[in-house]
Amino acid sequence: MTAGQEHKILDALDAFRIELPSWGFANTGTRFGKFQQAAAATTIDEKLSDAGQVHRFTGCCPTVAVHVLWDFPEGKASAPDVIKAAEYCGVKIGAINPNVFQDQIYKHGSLGNPDPEIRRVALQHILDCIGIATATDSRDISLWFADGSSYPGTANIRHRRRWFEEGLAEAHRHLQPNQRLLVEYKPFEPAFYHTDLADWGMSLLMSRKAGPQARVLVDTGHHYQAQNIEQIVAWLLAENMLGGFHFNDRRYADDDLTLGSIDPYQVFRIFHEIALFEWETGQRADIAYMIDQSHNLKNKIEEMIQTAVTAQELYAKATLVDHEALARYQSKSELVDAEECLKHAFATDVRPVIEEWRKAQGIPAEPLKAFRSSGYLERAERERGEKNSAAVSSYA
């Protein structure tokens, strides 16, 4: 690796940030049950404390996405305490995630519900979340909807589309000038016949209907098998409509596995498309990188550190693609050489340079090993074990 390549990686790492999900530190499971871990966080203070550990040992996770209802028990009134707790733990509050899928009233949808009163309740919750975002100085309000239907003929698809347009446009009118709506999509689950926002095209249309401060949020697990996610990324970049990511990995559908555990080359290809766009346009893409994965079996803090480290490595590899050479090969349809540009960068071992960057930042060269030696996990297990054991008993 040349000195110039090393500098490119170091500069890229200085700018790279990936947001942690508060819910990733709590006990989670599958639709079949919830699995308890002795050290799992049970309060927002504990979630933020765990997130602070991940940032301390990786240096790239300064913000935490939060879920209203789960993290703000008193709504906006909780904001000052949550902000204070985050500052104490060395992190800040990031994206605000409304919850319009958990309460019983959302059985038949939220903004797409045929009952206008339920649509009103869902919209008010989103507006309340915008107010929380203002209080926490958060830019992004991330919207995911479970709305849809599971049987043909049971829902008026066009009516539901219109209700979504109206609701998102009204939410957009309440945004502060520095805020954004990030509109996520998912092809199926929990609805299995139709999902109201099923793909990137639907989210793109809804975002444009909502207003100029709305963008598309891409969850890497929310696609059918074999879909070309980096092509979606390229199109959204070309339209200036890519707002952010929820990164995870999957073997089948929305598996929420550790980033890069199944297909690290795909994450690399996504980062490459962004880097190529930035090289061609000379402007930095305004994209929020976020993690959204379920830590059912691995220790939650360790998996977050593992994820952040993997993200740094794949992001660094993407910076090594020789864009000038790639553009030349593409223009001449020299297929083998063009592909080798990507494969060579992906095969490069960037870990020594990242370790050098960590040392310069005062971060341990091996984050996971350093965390395991810190004693934090053992303390958390002692302090939280009784609460988590009680939770197990309550499910018995």
How large is the average pLDDT for residues 328-339? 98
37-78 pLDDT per residue, tens = 999 999 999 999 999 999 999 999 999 999 999 999 888 899
For residues 157-164, average pLDDT = 98
Answer whether residue 394 shows pLDDT above 50. no
Token output for 324: 């000038």
* pLDDT, mean of residues 19-46: 91
* Mean pLDDT score across all residues of the chain: 96
Strands 288-291 and 242-247: parallel
Amino acid residing at 101 = F
Task: Tell me the helices (H) and strands (E) count for the chain, helix number first.
Answer: 14, 12
pLDDT of residue 265: 98
What number is the average pLDDT over the span 324-334? 98
Q: Which residues of 125-145 are buried (b: 16+ CB within 10 A; e: fewer)?
A: bbebbbbbbbbbebbbbbbbb
Share above pLDDT 90 across residues of the chain, in percent, rounded to a whole number: 92
How far is 20 from 48, CA to CA, in rounded Å?
10
Q: Is the pLDDT of residue 396 over 80?
A: no
Q: What is the mean pLDDT of residues 328-346?
A: 98
pLDDT at position 324: 98
Mean pLDDT of 281-304: 95
Q: Could you tell me the pLDDT band of residue 395, with boundaries at 50, 70 and 90?
A: very low
pTM score, two decimals?
0.96
pLDDT at position 6: 97
d(CA 336, CA 28): 45
At residue 166, the pLDDT reads: 98
Question: Is 12 in contact with 320 (CB distance < 8 Å)?
Answer: no
pLDDT in tens, 166-203: 999 999 999 999 999 999 999 999 999 999 999 999 99
Structure tokens at 77: 């009134």
Cα 287 off chain centre by: 11
Written as six digits, the tokens of 213 are 């401060």
**What ranges do the domains of the chain cover?**
3-395
pLDDT of residue 112 exceeding 50: yes
- CATH level 2 (architecture), domain 3-395: Alpha-Beta Barrel (3.20)
Residue 13 has pLDDT above 90, yes or no: yes
Which amino acid is it at 230?
E
Closest CA to 365 of 17, 57, 20, 10: 57
pLDDT at residue 266, as a whole number: 98
pLDDT band at 28 (very low <50, low <70, confident <90, very high): confident
Residue 391 has pLDDT above 90, yes or no: no
Q: Is the pLDDT of residue 392 over 60?
A: no
Mean pLDDT, rounded, for 214-231: 97
pLDDT at 296: 87
- Average pLDDT for residues 317-336, to the nearest whole number? 98
